[in-house]
Amino acid sequence: MQHRRLVIDANILIRAVLGRRVKETLASHAAEVDFFAPEVAFDDAEEHLPAVLTKFNRTAEIEAALALLNQLRSIVAAIPEDAFLNIKDEALARIQRDPDDWPVLAVAMLLDCPIWTEDNDFFGTGVPTWTTDRIGIYLNPPTSG
């Protein structure tokens, strides 16, 4: 049986580092779901994590948070831009609000799989999207029989 696949964006990576639910969801489904993110999503998460932690007076946790983000690479495969650059124009044409989101969409288009996000910008792009409060439906499909 082929593994299901799912592309995650930087926001989900940040949630995996800062929270428990997303991190546990990724870990508990890593055996049957292949998780992917464009390399730039890891870069964005790395850039934003210190500011988020500082905002909540958690600066002492920055180093550990960045280390955890790096550990997520063992569960979430980072896809380099050159793997999907050839569909950049098509992805950009589908993104209406934030053109910086094109790499996540392009990886989902390349792999023909849904996106796990909290970002509305992916809705209506022709790629299925799942939010954290609904991701269990995708990750735990009903068994037939």
Specify the pLDDT at position 126. 94
Whether 144 maps to a domain, the answer reads no
Band (144; pLDDT cuts 50, 70, 90): low
The predicted pLDDT at position 46 comes to: 97
Residue 142 pLDDT > 90: no
In this structure, what DSSP letter does residue 76 have? E
Q: Is 77 helix (H, G, I), strand (E, B) or coil?
A: strand
* 66 three-state secondary structure: helix
**pLDDT, tens digit, for every residue of 6-50?**
999 999 999 999 999 999 999 999 999 999 999 999 999 999 999
Name the band, by pLDDT with cuts 50, 70 and 90, for residue 140. Answer: confident
Does residue 43 fall inside a structural domain?
Answer: yes
Q: Is residue 145 part of a domain?
A: no
Residue 1 pLDDT exceeds 60: no
- Checking if the pLDDT of 141 tops 90, the result is no
Which pLDDT does position 58 carry in this prediction? 93
Residue 2 has pLDDT above 80, yes or no: no
| Nearest by Cα to 97 from 77, 123, 116 | 123
DSSP state at residue 141: P
Q: What is the pLDDT averaged over residues 109-123?
A: 94
Task: Give the largest Cα separation in the chain, rounded.
Answer: 51
Any domain includes 21 = yes
The pLDDT of residue 96: 85
> Domain containing 65: what range?
4-139
Distances (CA, A) of 142 to 16, 109, 122: 25, 25, 26
Q: What is the pLDDT of residue 98?
A: 87
Report the number of distinct structural domains present in the chain: 1
Residue 78, classified by CB atoms within 10 Å of its CB into exposed (0-12), middle (13-18) or buried (19+), is middle
Q: What is the CATH number of the domain that holds 113?
A: 3.40.50.1010
Choose among 130, 124, 119, 77: nearest CA to 96.
124
CB 120 within 8 A of CB 14: no
